[in-house]
Amino acid sequence: MPYINNLQYYTNGGIAPTDKNWGSYQYVSLADIVNNYMLINVGDDKLVNNVKRYEVLFHAKRGVQELNYDALKNIKKIELDLGNSLKMVLPPDYVNYIRISINVEGVLYTLHENRQAMSATAYLQDNNYNILFDSSGEIITGTSILEIKQGQMQQFFGPGAYNGCMGWCWGGDWYFEYQIGGRYGLNPELANQNPTFEVNPDSGVINFSSGARNRLIVLEYISDGMQNGNDDKVTVNKLFEDYIYAYITWAILNNKYGIQEYIINRVRNEKKKKLNNAKIRVSDIHPSRLVMVMRGQGKIIK
């Protein structure tokens, strides 16, 4: 990015948004990375030659993604009101979640994942249990029993062994968990009064239990750094710039015919070394923080 004066940095010249340039010197854009690589690292007298710009751009984006997966941990936070569907659509740049919280009277409570929860697609069948297809030859789907169980539980009053039990009513039919007979013990993994959630990457949603209905959900997740496909907004911390250049060189030579193995090994080792150096540089270890933690060892335990 070109140099700007302090007035531009702090106020953006009075043009909204005035905070546009705050912290911008910490980062280098994807366009600058590609331009610098083509200018400095590509040529007849260089290790990389006869390479197109779109190839460099492709490998640069893969390098940024690998960087976010492995070291940078680009964390984003979003908050959404959860409706009756009890589903939150995963963001397009979602990689993995860090923490999911629910807002209860101004206090954020951390939710726990229910790994025993399942998601299923219900195939419609006829009276002979044959699967039904539409005019395009695709299977007709309906509401899964697992989707029904995400709804609000109600108490059933009627004949049978389930009189007075909690269940789900859907389309006039009642559904219950297996609860006839005694239940003993507790699963510590699920011993929490807060709602639970289940991530379904195939459907691209996060399913929540009924206790999260009409609540504000805060999702903290790791992003792939691709800014929803907008290359103009993709940036990398300057401390990782050398690693991206080394990654591009390795990726190009590794996919090129006729390159000696010792050269590929050399650039691979250089890539690993620069990644490790960058990890150390951006590590969040400060002496003052270590001192504050070490003070705890003097605490008297009664």
Q: Of 22-36, 111-125, 228-242, which gets the smallest average pLDDT? A: 111-125
- pTM, two decimal places: 0.66
Assess contact for 244 and 68: CB atoms under 8 A. no
pLDDT band at 180 (very low <50, low <70, confident <90, very high): low
User: What's the pLDDT at 117?
Assistant: 57
pLDDT, mean over the chain: 81
Q: Average pLDDT in the 28-45 region?
A: 91
pLDDT band at 135 (very low <50, low <70, confident <90, very high): confident
pLDDT band at 295 (very low <50, low <70, confident <90, very high): confident
Q: Average pLDDT in the 267-274 region?
A: 93
- Given phi > 0 = left and psi -120 to 50 = alpha, else beta, which region is 177? beta
Beta bridge partner(s), residue 169: 174
Residue 189 clears pLDDT 70, i.e. is over it: no
User: What's the pLDDT at 175?
Assistant: 64
User: What's the pLDDT at 137?
Assistant: 80
- Per residue in 80-123, pLDDT (tens digit) is 998 887 889 999 888 889 999 999 888 898 998 877 655 566 67
User: Cα–Cα distance between 84 and 70 in angstroms, integer?
Assistant: 36
Q: Average pLDDT in the 247-265 region?
A: 92
In the block, tokens 């702090």 appear at 10
Q: Average pLDDT in the 159-177 region?
A: 69
List of residues 6+ apart from 272 with CB closer than 8 A: none
Residue 38 clears pLDDT 90, i.e. is over it: yes
- Per residue in 50-71, pLDDT (tens digit) is 899 999 999 999 998 888 877 7
User: Cα–Cα distance between 6 and 24 in angstroms, integer?
Assistant: 12
User: What's the pLDDT at 34?
Assistant: 93
